[in-house]
Amino acid sequence: MTDVTGASVDVLHTLFRSDQGGHEQVVLCQDRASGLKAVIAIHSTALGPALGGTRFHPYATEAAAVADALNLARGMSYKNALAGLEHGGGKAVIIGDPETLKSEELLLAYGRFVESLGGRYVTACDVGTYVADMDVVARETRWATGRSPENGGAGDSSVLTAYGVFQGMRASAHHLWGSPSLSGRLVGVAGVGKVGHHLVNHLIQDGAEVVVTDVREESVRRIQAKYPQVTAVADTAALIRIEGLDIYAPCALGGALGDDTVPVLTAKVVCGAANNQLAHPGVEKDLSDRSILYAPDYVVNAGGVIQVADELHGFDFDRCKAKAARIYDTTLEIFARANEEGVPPAVAADRIAEQRMAEARRP
Ligand SMILES: NC(=O)c1ccc[n+]([C@@H]2O[C@H](COP(=O)([O-])OP(=O)(O)OC[C@H]3O[C@@H](n4cnc5c(N)ncnc54)[C@H](O)[C@@H]3O)[C@@H](O)[C@H]2O)c1
């Protein structure tokens, strides 16, 4: 037996001191037969069982995996609180390269660990895990969502994610221009993959002018085949500089808003699906200082988590769509609170989420 090392003491330090409120529980899971090493982090169950996906990623160190699980779990508490779900926040990470390590045996072992938590943590897909994987995990636990329709799940969540982003955009337009209609507005969508292309459908139907960019030419071609009026530019750098751009919708990767982009952004509104759009703390203030209205990413892209939460009760698309439609009111509430308190919308959103969790904790 070896002694506890400095590195593991650091992990404990991260757990108990990482942020306001700290985390409730972190579980380290190991199954030697399949090579599974996973971290399940539960940030809060104040509003209900912790809900959040499983990320499968080749972390450089185990401490980095724990830190990521802690951060992601905390983010889910805020997202679920603002989505009006009766769920707290949690997230799991599986350490390793999904291309080489993922196996049925490993996913089943992981499912048994999720089941052992008795419903305190409900899992779903995230980067590196897919609907087919959740079908396997669900063979060992009742607490896996994001399954295929053949297995009682709701399948792809991008339809409702795009619908929620569209509602966030309508709320932004209402706040800034006095009408939720996007008719005649010029909207730039960066990334027209699963969510982006559904978003373009909504925008065209509402009468917006749309310009897109994507690193995959095929994705752009698919959009233009359907809507020849959609224009395209070479890259995101060109998109964010378009004169007269009303709304910028980052729908590709995280970190879209940073020191290189905010100063040159021509849009008056940023509202998109990508997770973690703010490259670092302080960018929300830089946006406010330039009078750019930022609809917080984790608020407007909650359609996906609304869908997986609904799956636990037997998925009903119309019920889910009605819940995703409330993103419109939540976004307006955040902008109003931001104005009242003189803070950027991202700060107002965090405050509303914290308030909901604190109220739920009260006896
Ligand atoms: N799918 C969901 O339900 C969901 C829910 C919440 C948040 N999100 C977030 O929304 C974003 C999009 O998700 P998705 O499911 O549509 O993914 P996706 O992989 O289907 O689409 C992303 C698209 O962005 C393009 N892209 C990548 N790098 C780019 C770049 N530098 N410039 C321009 N385009 C680029 C890709 O080619 C792809 O077409 C991600 O950040 C994801 O985490 C998705």
The set of protein residues with a Cβ atom below 6 angstroms from ligand 1 is 157-158, 161, 190-196, 213-216, 219, 236, 251-253, 273-275, 301, 304
| Structure tokens belonging to residue 318 | 């119309």
Burial of 6 (0-12, 13-18, 19+ CB in 10 A): exposed
Per-residue pLDDT of the chain (363 residues; tens, 9 = 90+): 445 455 555 666 666 665 555 899 999 999 999 999 999 999 999 999 999 999 999 999 998 999 889 989 999 999 999 999 999 999 999 999 999 999 999 999 999 999 999 999 999 999 899 999 999 999 999 999 999 999 999 988 999 999 999 999 999 999 999 999 999 999 999 999 999 999 999 999 999 999 999 999 999 999 999 999 999 999 999 999 999 999 999 999 889 999 999 999 999 999 999 998 999 999 999 999 999 999 999 999 999 999 999 999 999 999 999 999 999 999 999 999 999 999 999 999 999 999 999 998 766
DSSP 132-170: HHHHHHTTT-S-B-S--GGGT-----HHHHHHHHHHHHH
DSSP conformation class of 42: E
| Residue 315 neighbours by CB distance under 10 Å | 18
Which ranges of 128-268 would DSSP assign to H, the alpha helix? Answer: 131-137, 158-177, 194-205, 217-226, 236-239
**Which atom of ligand 1 is closest in space to residue 254's alpha carbon?**
41
Torsion of CA 236, 237, 238, 240, to 10 degrees: 80
Phi, psi of 118 (to 5 degrees): 65, 25
Residue 247 contacts residue 267 (beta carbons within 8 Å)? yes
What is this structure's pTM? 0.91
Pocket test for ligand 1, best of 215, 218, 276 (most atoms within 8 A of CB): 215
Residue 160 contacts residue 304 (beta carbons within 8 Å)? yes
Domains and CATH numbers, the chain: 6-77+86-151 (3.40.50.10860), 158-357 (3.40.50.720)
Shortest-distance Cα residue to atom 38 of ligand 1: 193
SS3 119: coil
